[in-house]
Structure 1
């Protein structure tokens, strides 16, 4: 390969740099001077500003305020208010049920996983409902096991020499 072609390839790799973007989570400095009236209404530090806002239960969705986005410790403190999550195995559903459940959740702006969490939370409070769900789950589990056995037998028979 000639040096000219090699230099052309190297020059193509040198892309122009993009200026760094402003991070949306970093608060912008307040440029307007506060009037004495504003100073009495708004406390000087973030802790006092947060204490003026009414506290909301963790279960309600709240929009973060600029004061709550000020620092890593305040974000970590807010995160500790919420329950810890853990990734679980993929969910396998019947095709029709999957379609219905996905549409149901999408129409309401939630995920299937969050719906499952909420359904369990509500159902677990009623022992009769839990028993009814468990009976249906066992029936479906036995059905899935039988489907697996049938598929395995079909594969074995189709791969056997004739």
Structure 2
């Protein structure tokens, strides 16, 4: 391989540099103009910048934690099992609104719990569905037992 071809290959490997991005979450302080003495030793700017950056991150982190404290805490709940058609309809509805099924359920409970008549109506329907689910479980168990008898 000639030197010319080798240099061409090396030049192809050089990628253009990208300017460093500005982190929007970190506040940048304006640099203060300070007179420098000509005979003074150069200051370790890397260490100073790192210390300032860490302090800024600490401030930002504290602010974010303080803001987080303003919101209610969440907790993961068990998986939700829904009727197939109802699941598809509810999922489509929530996607159109740009929310999750869990958030919709949370909001529905918040609204319904303030109205006793509505809560009673929902509870009656829930009990009917619960009894239906229990019966479906019993039927499935019986089918499994009859299909796979013990030896």
Structure 2 length as normaliser, TM-score?
Answer: 0.64
From 123, 130, 148, the equivalent of 2:119 is 130
Q: 1:24 to 1:137 in 2, by over 3 A?
A: farther
1:24-103 equivalent positions in 2, closer than 5 A:
24=23, 26-27=25-26, 29=28, 71-103=60-92
Q: Residues 26 and 70 of structure 1 are in contact (CA less than 8 Å); yes or no, is this contact kept in structure 2?
A: no
Q: In 2, distance between residues paired with 1:159 and 1:102? A: 36
Q: 1:82 to 1:140 in 2, by over 3 A?
A: same
Q: Residues 26 and 60 of structure 2 are in contact (CA less than 8 Å); yes or no, is this contact kept in structure 1?
A: no
Gaps of 5+ in 2: 1-19, 33-57
Q: In 1, distance between residues paired with 2:88 and 2:79? A: 16
Q: Could you tell me how far 1:138 is from its partner in structure 2? A: 0.3
Structure 1 length as normaliser, TM-score?
Answer: 0.59
Structure with higher Rg: it is 2
Gaps of 5+ in 1: 1-20, 34-68
Q: In 1, distance between residues paired with 2:80 and 2:72? A: 21
Match of 1:71, SS state, is helix
Q: Could you tell me how far 1:154 is from its partner in structure 2? A: 0.2
Q: Which residue of 1 aligns with 2:43?
A: none
Q: In 2, distance between residues paired with 1:73 and 1:157? A: 62
Q: In 2, distance between residues paired with 1:83 and 1:161? A: 51
1:104 matches 2:93: yes
- 1:87-125 CA distance string (max 9 Å, x none): 000000000000000000000000000000100000000
Q: In 1, distance between residues paired with 2:112 and 2:103? A: 14
**After TM superposition, which residue ranges in structure 1, 4 or more long, deviate above 6 angstroms?**
none
Q: Which residue of 2 aligns with 1:160?
A: 149
Q: Residues 101 and 112 of structure 1 are in contact (CA less than 8 Å); yes or no, is this contact kept in structure 2?
A: yes
